[in-house]
Structure 1
Amino acid sequence: MVSMSVSYSAIKAASEPEAIAELLATRVIGPVMPSVVVKKVRPKSGRRFEAPRVMWNIYEAELELADGLTANSLIWTKAFFTDEGCREYQQRISRLLSSQNGNPLDPRGYVQFFSDLNLFLFFFPTDPVFPKMSIVFDPHAMAPMLREHFEGLRPKADIKSLSCTRVKYLPEISCIVRYNAEIGEERPLTIYGKLQHSKRGAMTYEVMQALWDLPARQSGDLIVARPLAYYPSHSLLLQSELQGDEIKSDRHSEIFMAQCEAAGRAIGHIHNSGITVGEPHVADVEIERLELRLEQFKMSAPRIFFLLRDLLKHIAVKAEKVAPETPVPSHGDYKYNQFLYDGEHFGMIDVEYFVQAEPSFDLGKYCGHLVPSNPKDWSDSARAEECRRVFLDAYLSVRPGYKGARFSLYEALSLATRALVVAWSQPRNWEHTAETLVAMGFERLKTRWGE
């Protein structure tokens, strides 16, 4: 049992947008820049809770500067529930803490520690895991590194200007940056950069290169971005632009259904590829991870806690009874939102979770995310069933030998994971949604392959 030095309720209260706005106004910006007004603080997606140790939150702060202009700053917090964990982190980033110049609006970022809250507050681009983040977002500093790659994409292109845009950011985990080179045409020439923790970019680059070399990619059956380079000194992976829009969640749209078919074939080609990159991943890891996360809901959502605990017990029993499938190269986070649509083709993105796993791992995760979280009527669920059938039929057209021995197990795991996420984020009608997902998990666990 971990002794909590700061309660969950205290950290949750201190992490509310209004509390962060007060903190910025009275203890961060106000004391050194009294003319700057904190107008509003809005939460952004990316909140993470690593029970029972630490919580991350991301915000956007709207500031009114002395000249009346408005500026927006991305800030994030990391709060520890134990003094021991807090001290260890404080020691780990001590050099960063001591190197601050006292300006919270420094373009290179800023960090401040609040000992009474066990909370660290960061201004982007400061991130202890990515010390060169500010360089990665500096067009002038990045121009020499990017020049050869733009030249490779468009020989002799005349680059008139270069801009950097943050696309997605998870503190201490990953960040996506878009580099646009204006070349005098209607659309800029674009390269995407991705920073990943623990030097994972090296593995991602190797996976992307292997996918790029596949016959299925060369024939057009598998569409992926072209890997350009990996720079370990910056933890930065560069890749070509994959054009298209994200897939919307409307199961009734023709695009969504077409994506299900394309996704089935694409993952079939990956499972057949023979790519050896990626660590082994087994069902026990998924089960244990959910069991660990589940404990945080014992008091706050007791009904969901007991329902999920029961489902996980049944999943564990089935995992013991049914022999594991032969591992194959696997995407690791396979869902419909891992694709972009350009009006003709579906391109696959985000392969940083690539592993060697049972084929049912990818298939179960994908199908578990086809179930609508809040169906408006029976037709939504019926359409999701049709999407599931189309996806699996497309997969079998590429891998007809697949027998689905442990498919129900992994599909139930996917639904259990979604229920846990709902219980954590607590959107509208979250209890009903979580209970529905658990009930579907039980149903899928008992459903035989082919039914």
Structure 2
Amino acid sequence: MPDASDLGRLARDTTHLLTSLQRSLEDGVEVERCELATIRRLNDSSLQTGDGLIVSYRVLLRDVSRQRQCVQLYGGHLGADAAAFYQSFEGATFVRVEFGPPLIYVRDLSLVLFAFPNDPLLPHLAACISREAVETCVRNVAELGSGKSSRVLDFAVVPLKYDPGRGCTCRFLVSLDGSGAGSAWELIAKTHKTDRLARTFETMTRLWADPACHAGQWVTARPYFYDRERRLLWQAALRGRSFWSLYPNLDVTCVFREMARVAASLHASRFAPAGRVLTLLPERRSSPLAQTYSDLGRRHATLLKRLEARRELVAHVDPTSLHGDFHPEQFLIDVEQIGLTDFDSACWGDAAHDLGRFASHVLLKALQRDLAPRLFEEPLEAFFDEYVCRTERPGVRPGIFWHVAEQLLGRRIHKLLKQATESPRDKIEQMLGLAETYLTRAEADS
């Protein structure tokens, strides 16, 4: 049976996959490009399969006769049991897609692909991008001309973020006919396998109602409607592009300072759900790090003990409304303003957590993109300095450094392992070094 590293190599063999996809398409349709979008280890027991990976691909297709292109998303299961998994769906009913079959078995790669929006672990996804879903939104949103005054003439859907089996975010371009609304609207809709977006909608509604969050040069998306039947959250679209899509063609230090000002303003609000509290150092789970690299596993365990020993740095702090998943990719950057998105993880806890999460995410992305972490040392220091200046809380620094180390030793290091890259050892070693540096700073500044 192939291990995670072998499966990772198969998942990244997009050249082979491109050839296999071409054989599955009708004449006159060509596969121009195939990109691996997401990859993670399989941990969903509902599939009743063995070890494997969940992957997604963005495939650029070209219809030669009509001289047009389209991007088709595919989610898939990759593993030794792919043949049996494929057979379990033979005869099933699928949503038709513009090009090719909705279900594809790539034997040589041990891969089963489902053309978006077909997803066995997210069965309500197709209903989320239907005309009925759009019409339900229009009927319930006054700004869109709710009631009988507005009618959906046409709409187009562009998937922005798709995590097979978990959730999806799409942009909708909707044309309306009616006296109560403009002719065209751009909306964002998110769905998840659970109903957690109901809580997110309530959080966004509280935040939108807080004048403090509209006083500066940053905005949040206006929440419009939560469709409980489809687990679908509708919100206004924000202008701008993501940080990493603009990098390196932007002033990183300047942008990070602006994001720190957003954090300071956000932490002055009280938008987080009542009773939802941040949990630090979650329950111990068996880490594959020690099994894969025993020496790095021992070093990791030693650093975790040091981290636990200095837990008092964050043990007695006043609870603050946290974003919960605060990092550069949660922002949309525009010439006139920046917009903050994704409040799914909002909770109460130590304000330093948001800043530590921000820094650890930057360092993770640097390693994933083969960038030297030192490139972000000065911008991150400017980020910390700006937050301290805005909040007048110089004593927060040890807590920030502790949270950076905690994030690097937890979610971030496991992220590198879950990517199933061929040889993540060097990057993991660098991340351990960064965690040790920040932990030492936390100890020295306390």
With the length of structure 2 as denominator, give the TM-score of the two structures.
Answer: 0.76
Higher deviation after alignment, 153-162 or 306-315: 153-162
Is 1:141 aligned to 2:132, yes or no?
yes
Counterpart code for 2:242: E
Q: CA deviation at 1:7?
A: 4.4
Is 1:282 aligned to 2:275, yes or no?
no
2:405 corresponding residue in structure 1: 412
Q: CA deviation at 1:154?
A: 8.1
2:57 corresponding residue in structure 1: 59
Counterpart code for 1:265: R
1:142–1:369 CA distance, 2 compared to 1 (3 A) = closer
SS of match in other structure, 1:127: coil
Paired residues, number: 425
2:387 corresponding residue in structure 1: 395
Per-residue Cα deviation, 1:95-145 (whole angstroms, up to 9, x for no partner): x765326x975789844789999865322111234333223333x434422
Per-residue Cα deviation, 1:422-444 (whole angstroms, up to 9, x for no partner): 45547799544432232121011
Is 1:447 aligned to 2:446, yes or no?
no
Preserved CA contact (<8 Å) 2:76 2:114: yes
Preserved CA contact (<8 Å) 2:281 2:406: no
Per-residue Cα deviation, 1:182-215 (whole angstroms, up to 9, x for no partner): 589xx95311111122111101101111110112
1:75 corresponding residue in structure 2: 74
1:74–1:388 CA distance, 2 compared to 1 (3 A) = closer
In 2, the alpha carbon distance for the partners of 1:429 and 1:172 equals: 27
Q: CA deviation at 1:338?
A: 1.3
1:240–1:135 CA distance, 2 compared to 1 (3 A) = same
1:9–1:41 CA distance, 2 compared to 1 (3 A) = farther
Return 5+ residue gaps in structure 1 as ranges. none
Counterpart code for 1:141: E
1:114–1:337 CA distance, 2 compared to 1 (3 A) = closer
Instruction: Give the alignment partner of residue 318 of structure 1, picking from 310, 317, 320.
Output: 310
In 1, the alpha carbon distance for the partners of 2:431 and 2:7 equals: 29
SS of match in other structure, 1:367: helix
Preserved CA contact (<8 Å) 2:401 2:441: yes
Instruction: Give the alignment partner of residue 123 of structure 1, picking from 103, 115, 120.
Output: 115
1:360–1:42 CA distance, 2 compared to 1 (3 A) = same
Per-residue Cα deviation, 1:239-290 (whole angstroms, up to 9, x for no partner): 01111121248888764333322322322333332334173232222x73xx
Is 1:242 aligned to 2:235, yes or no?
no
Preserved CA contact (<8 Å) 2:224 2:235: yes
SS of match in other structure, 2:194: helix
Identical aligned residues as a percent: 19
1:36–1:267 CA distance, 2 compared to 1 (3 A) = same
2:46 corresponding residue in structure 1: none
Q: CA deviation at 1:447?
A: 0.6
In 2, the alpha carbon distance for the partners of 1:345 and 1:99 equals: 48
Preserved CA contact (<8 Å) 2:74 2:116: yes
SS of match in other structure, 1:344: coil
SS of match in other structure, 2:195: helix
1:316–1:384 CA distance, 2 compared to 1 (3 A) = same
Per-residue Cα deviation, 1:400-434 (whole angstroms, up to 9, x for no partner): 35733533221112333444434554779954443
1:65–1:296 CA distance, 2 compared to 1 (3 A) = farther
Preserved CA contact (<8 Å) 2:239 2:334: yes
1:213–1:54 CA distance, 2 compared to 1 (3 A) = farther
SS of match in other structure, 1:369: helix
Preserved CA contact (<8 Å) 2:172 2:186: yes
In 1, the alpha carbon distance for the partners of 2:29 and 2:370 equals: 43
Preserved CA contact (<8 Å) 1:165 1:179: yes
Per-residue Cα deviation, 1:349-404 (whole angstroms, up to 9, x for no partner): 11112233322221111122344547878xx83x6343233322332345335733
Counterpart code for 1:162: F
Per-residue Cα deviation, 1:162-182 (whole angstroms, up to 9, x for no partner): 211111111121111111135
Higher deviation after alignment, 322-331 or 230-239: 322-331
1:433–1:168 CA distance, 2 compared to 1 (3 A) = same
Counterpart code for 2:315: A
Mapping 1:126-275, distance limit 5 Å: 126-138=118-130, 140-148=131-139, 152=143, 161-182=154-175, 189-220=185-216, 222-248=218-244, 255-275=251-271
1:191–1:263 CA distance, 2 compared to 1 (3 A) = same
1:351 corresponding residue in structure 2: 343
SS of match in other structure, 1:223: strand
1:44 corresponding residue in structure 2: 36
SS of match in other structure, 2:281: helix
In 2, the alpha carbon distance for the partners of 1:445 and 1:110 equals: 49
Counterpart code for 1:369: H
Higher deviation after alignment, 66-75 or 107-116: 107-116
In 2, the alpha carbon distance for the partners of 1:274 and 1:440 equals: 33
Is 1:362 aligned to 2:354, yes or no?
yes
Counterpart code for 1:283: L
1:213–1:104 CA distance, 2 compared to 1 (3 A) = closer
Preserved CA contact (<8 Å) 1:338 1:348: yes
In 2, the alpha carbon distance for the partners of 1:152 and 1:108 equals: 38
Preserved CA contact (<8 Å) 2:307 2:439: yes
In 1, the alpha carbon distance for the partners of 2:245 and 2:216 equals: 25
Preserved CA contact (<8 Å) 1:109 1:126: no
Counterpart code for 1:436: Q
Preserved CA contact (<8 Å) 2:40 2:54: yes
1:359–1:72 CA distance, 2 compared to 1 (3 A) = closer
1:248–1:116 CA distance, 2 compared to 1 (3 A) = closer
CA RMSD of aligned residues (A): 4.4
Return 5+ residue gaps in structure 2 as ranges. 44-49, 178-182
1:263–1:321 CA distance, 2 compared to 1 (3 A) = closer
